[in-house]
Every structure is written in C-alpha cells, then in structure tokens.
Amino acid sequence: MIRVKICGITNIEDALSAVDYGADALGFIFFEKSPRCVSPEKAREIISLLPPFVTTIGVFVNEDTEKIKEIMNFTGINVLQLHGDEGPDMCSIWHKVIKAFRLRDFTDLKPLEKYRCSAFLLDTYSPESFGGTGQIFNWDIAVEAKRFGRIILSGGLNPDNIEKAIRWVRPYAVDVSSGIEEEKGKKDLRKMREFIEKAKAALTPHG
C-alpha cells in the first residue's frame, strides 16, 4: 500500500485529522520564506499530541547543521527532509534523510547518483519557489528515478490526479500540501480525506 505524507502542517486540527484519515507521515516546514512555515514551538506542541506510529518530518531549506539539530531535538521530529541545494556530504551526516529534487527534465536526475538517502522526494522545478507550486512534472522522469532508490512523488498532486499518478509511477510514497488546502497553511479536510483514501486504494485490485 502506498504511504502518504501530508506536508505543510501548521495546526493541531489538520494534524489529527490527517492521522485519523490514514496519513503515514506529517511534514513540518521550518523555512521562513514558506507560507506554510511553522515555529519549532508550535511543531513541538502538535507533535506532543500525535498518537504513536506516525512519522514526523522536518523540512529545511539550506539551513545550518546546528540549527537543524537544535530544532529536531526540541520538536521530536523523526526524519529530516532537505529541500534546498544541499550536497551529498550534508545528507551523509544524518541517519534518516529525505533529499528533495526539483525536476525539469531527465538530465536533472544525474545528481541523484551521488546521494545516499532514505528516499528521494521529486518535486516540480520553479525558479521562484523551493516547493508548493501546485504544478506537476513529467511523471516518466519519476519512473526513471526509481533506479536510484525509494521515490516520494510530489508536485501538483491533488484528489483528482492522485490515482493516475500512483498507477503511472508506483512510487514508495506520495506527498501533498497545496493540492488539499483551503488556504495556504490550512487544509481542506474533505480534500485531505479524499486524497488519502484514493491514494491508499489506487493499487488495490478494486482501487
């Protein structure tokens, strides 16, 4: 069954609803320029209320190593996601790390050879943003990327296209943020539930 990460969590209602609907992981963004940025204090409060067996992921963009360690220790985040221009050496520091790559074409896959990560998150390239664009990319690139390791598919996913995306790519997991929002930083609970249900059923015999 496909694993689902709900990213851009900023409040307790969205977090607990995502878990109730069957999300496997929640993403907390600690990049100040993101409209979905959450403070370490708020993230810690939310995480303290989560039930067991839910993975929490801290998303950082070109952040200082010591600052990352400080926030992860303070909040209790389980897994690190590096969503900027971090190199292979930065990834090698951490025990569990997801490295994000923003893709335009097949040539953008070349750097993946140099990285050793728990998984690669594939997002849509934008010159203005490190993520959350709401735009999809060529899923054939994601299929090719699977030869480098576990793939988390992101970029423009929503309840209308998630089943097609999963059947096309068959990734390790999918990641969604803007595609299920009511407004930036606040989830549309109906869309979130629909997204998770469709993602979980996509590869079942009757999905």
pLDDT beyond 60 at 207: no
CA distances from 175 to 70, 84, 110, 153 (A): 25, 17, 22, 6
Residue 115 to residue 111: CA distance in whole angstroms = 7
| Residues ≥6 apart with Cβ < 8 Å to 100 | 81, 82, 83, 84, 120, 121, 122, 123, 131, 154
Domains in the chain: ranges and CATH: 3-201 (3.20.20.70)
Half-sphere exposure of 87 (CA within 13 A, CB side): 1
Strand-pair category, 181-183 with 186-187:
antiparallel
What's the confidence (pLDDT) of residue 128? 57
The pLDDT tens digits for 116-174 are 999 999 998 765 555 555 678 899 999 999 999 999 999 999 999 999 999 999 999 99
The pLDDT tens digits for 45-59 are 999 999 999 999 999
Residues recognised as catalytic: 7, 123
Distance in angstroms between the alpha carbons of the first and the last residue of the chain = 11
Question: Residue 37 carries which DSSP code?
Answer: B
